Amino acid sequence: MNPLLKDFSTPFHTAPFSKLKNEHFLPAFKQAISDAKSDIDEIVSNSEVPTFKNTIEALEFAGQQLERISAIFFNLNSAETNDEIQKIAQEVSPLLAEFSNDITLNESLFERIKTVYEQRDMFQLTVEQKTLLDKKYKSFSRNGANLPKSKKKKLREIDKELSKLKLQFGENVLAETNAYELHVTDEAQLKGLPESALEEAQHLAETKGKTGWIFTLQYPSYIPFMTYAENRELRKQLAIAFGAKGFQTNKFNNEEIVLKIAKLRHERAHLLGYKTHAHYVLEERMAKNPETVNHFLHELLDKAKPAAQREFANLQQFAKELDGIDTLEKWDGAYYSEKLKQKLFNLDDEKLKPYFELKNVINGVFTVAEKLYGLRFEEVHNIDKYHRDVLTYKVLDDTNHLVAIFYADFFPREGKRNGAWMTSFKPQYIKEEENERPHISIVCNFTKPTKTKPSLLTFNEVTTLFHEFGHALHGMLANTTYPSLSGTSVFWDFVELPSQVLENWCYEKEALELFAKHYQTGESIPMELIEKIKESATFHEGMQTLRQLSFGLLDMGWHGQDPSAITNVKQQELKAFEGTQLYPDVAENCMSTSFSHIFQGGYSSGYYSYKWAEVLDADAFEYFKEQGIFSKTVADKFKNFVLSQGGTEDPMVLYKRFRGKEPNPEALLRRAGLIEA
């Protein structure tokens, strides 16, 4: 029997990865969709008067098996994919889009929901139940339930097409990432590169049966090369390849897909009565509308731009004095920034890396979680993994109760997409008085151990691990009744608060002393290096802010207006970047064609939320600093009013309950050094 369709008789009911074969997925999806339809039919055919319990709650728990299969499959498609899985994804996505539409366009079901919604004052609902009812009603009305038949049909067609296009977009980016390699046989061309990067590149060449060194577009290979390689021509080659993903004249070109996605999203929003896709999306965000987002982005832009321009002029001057560079290009940025940082702070990532052995950093983030939230992480070896590199943990609270199962997947490989993310294989929820605990995962792409060294992280990788672990805590500490309101199921401009706030601990002496120990000698990181990390935290903050804002503006450029007249992806991008460009444009490059966050992930009209959440996190961390970074009082408030609450209430209500007031944007500007502290 198909293992996906049985109860998982595994420790903690975890996914039975070792028993799963690719051929199990399609039949499992088809069966689970059929079963979920039966669940819906049961709700619709109920002869009793619609109530919260027999309609809204019943709908919430309908199709749970399908949710579980989807979580397993699509997580594998991101972290351990292959041609066969990608092919199945192309087949399955339209089926899921169709099923989703079958639900949201089911008139009889919507009638029952509408009845409960209109009579909501008759039921004695908790705050969480009111939120669930509101979200269920809106998920129908915002997805066409109130449309006439002809428009519903059109909506189905658009959704089906979009689901395929988004998948194709991601597959093209992954294919382009995997297809490129920079093969170097002359060591003299690799001057400046740290030993660890050379060792990794040599190992990669060996695995491919080649001599010399191979560098790729995977971050652990790409970033050190761009930061340290003295050979400007090779930096240029690699940078152009990185920026050309999805923008080359080959079968992986994403330009047409970008235009189609943007236009279909606009058409869909219009069909539902919204001015643009951004108006549609932002109705369900803290920001509420595109005007607020654009005002927010431009307000920060006004504050950051003068600082960014000063920093850029200094960097240009520095590159000219050092190497006679007349025009600073994009492939020069990381290299000269690193050189200038070393000069100003005598701080080099390579000096820091020996203090950040991955194993120690993992123990460090666990210790921080224990001090703040009383959590204990025990590595377990009886849980199935989808790849041998994955680590598995049992998470316990201070009374020894299970809080969560935690998977951690740290190293790059061909079947894994670039970047870092948190996800879940099973959400937390309460059913029949049983508090089902979540199965949470973080996936990263860090430097692998070599023959002579363990995995040593750059400081940026350390903050990435803390960031994703912050998301993981949001999932692990969830304590809500309904799965769709649990953990990270919150407004997208709120979801980055738990992740970004945890990054702050990476800059604090009290936290660093817990885990930043030399991998050979065991000595703690010297105080002077901690001071330098803190001092350099705002280095080029103006330029970094400008870069983030440019991505937010590009997102709004695609989704905050009618895109039907746009015919050229590159031209549209240049227009969006107009007020934020520091470096000369690179004709062969285009960001949109590999901007997976907004064209494949869920960040369309939401990229601004990284900066939005930074305002929240800077303000929240000021509270921790006032009381002490391991203050149990503040940590308990953050856990009880933010982390455990998921999406049960409006985020601003939750935030004010934690902080006692609305966030102050000046906290971010102070931390970034853009205004006086």
DSSP string, 170-231: HHHHHHHHHH--EEE--GGGGTT--HHHHHHHHHHHHHTT-SSEEE-SSHHHHHHHHHH---
CA distance 16 to 468: 24
Instruction: Give long-range contacts, CB 8 A cutoff, 24+ apart: 30-33.
Output: 30/95, 31/2, 31/5, 32/4, 32/5, 32/63, 32/65, 32/66, 32/69, 33/66, 33/95, 33/96, 33/99
User: Given strand 391-396, what is the order of strands in its sheet?
Assistant: 376-379, 391-396, 402-409, 439-443, 421-426
Q: One-letter amino acid identity for 607? A: Y
For 112, phi then psi, to 5°, come to -65, -45
Residues 619, 658 contacting (CB under 8 angstroms): no
What are the CA-CA distances from residue 658 to residues 251, 425, 614, 619, 651 (Å)?
Answer: 51, 29, 16, 11, 11
Residues of the chain with CATH 1.20.1050.40: 3-146
What's the CA gap between 552 and 298, in Å, rounded?
10
Let me know how many helices (H) and strands (E) the chain has, helices first: 27, 9
Contact in structure between 531 and 550 (CB atoms under 8 Å): no
Instruction: Tell which residue, 492, 587, 80, 490, has the closest CA to residue 287.
Output: 492
| Candidate CATH numbers 1.20.1050.40, 2.70.70.10, 1.20.1250.20, 3.30.70.1350; the one for domain 3-146 | 1.20.1050.40
Confidence (pLDDT) at 184:
98
- 290 SS3 class: helix
List every span in the chain annotated with CATH 1.10.1370.40.
Answer: 354-537
Could you please state the CATH topology (level 3) that the domain comprising 245-346+538-677 is classified under. Answer: Neurolysin; domain 3 (1.10.1370)
Q: What is the pLDDT of residue 455?
A: 96
What residues of the chain score a pLDDT lower than 50? Answer: none
pLDDT of residue 287: 92
Bridge partners (DSSP) listed for residue 392: 407
Where in the chain are all domains bearing CATH 1.10.1370.10? 245-346+538-677
pLDDT for res 349: 81
Q: Distance (Å, rounded) from C-alpha 608 to C-alpha 593?
A: 19
Give 514's contacts (C-beta < 8 A, 6+ positions apart).
Answer: 364, 367, 368
The residue behind tokens 């931390």 is 671
Rounded CA-CA distance 611/620 in Å is 14
Task: Show Cβ contacts of residue 56 under 8 Å, excluding neighbours closer than 6 positions.
Answer: 113, 116, 129, 132, 133, 136
Catalytic choice (171, 199, 311, 468): 468
> What pLDDT, on the 0 to 100 scale, is given for residue 677?
62
Q: CA distances (Å), 222 to each of 254, 331, 466, in order? A: 22, 11, 21
pLDDT at site 398? 93
Could you please state the CATH topology (level 3) that the domain comprising 354-537 is classified under: Neurolysin; domain 3 (1.10.1370)
For residue 177, the model assigns a pLDDT of 96
Q: What is the pLDDT of residues 609-635, one digit of tens each?
A: 989 999 999 999 999 999 999 999 999
Task: Find out whether 432 and 441 touch, Cβ atoms under 8 Å.
Answer: no
Tell me how far apart the alpha carbons of residues 466 and 248 are, in angstroms, rounded to a whole number: 35
pLDDT at residue 418 in the model: 87
- Per the annotation, the verdict on 649 as an active-site residue is no
Entry pTM:
0.85
Can you tell me the distance from the alpha carbon of 142 to that of 561, in angstroms, rounded to the nearest whole number? 19
How far apart CA 567 and CA 307 sit, in angstroms, is 35
Exposed e or buried b per residue across 382-410, where buried means at least 16 C-beta atoms within 10 angstroms of its C-beta: ebbbbeeebbbbbbbeeeeeebbbbbbbb
Kindly report, residue by residue over 313-331, the tens digit of the pLDDT: 999 999 999 999 999 999 9
As a whole number of angstroms, the distance between CA 393 and CA 387 comes to 15
28, 51 Cβ separation under 8 angstroms: no
- Given this model, what pLDDT does residue 484 score? 97
How many of the other CB atoms lie within 10 Å of CB of 451? 7
- Residues counted in the chain: 677
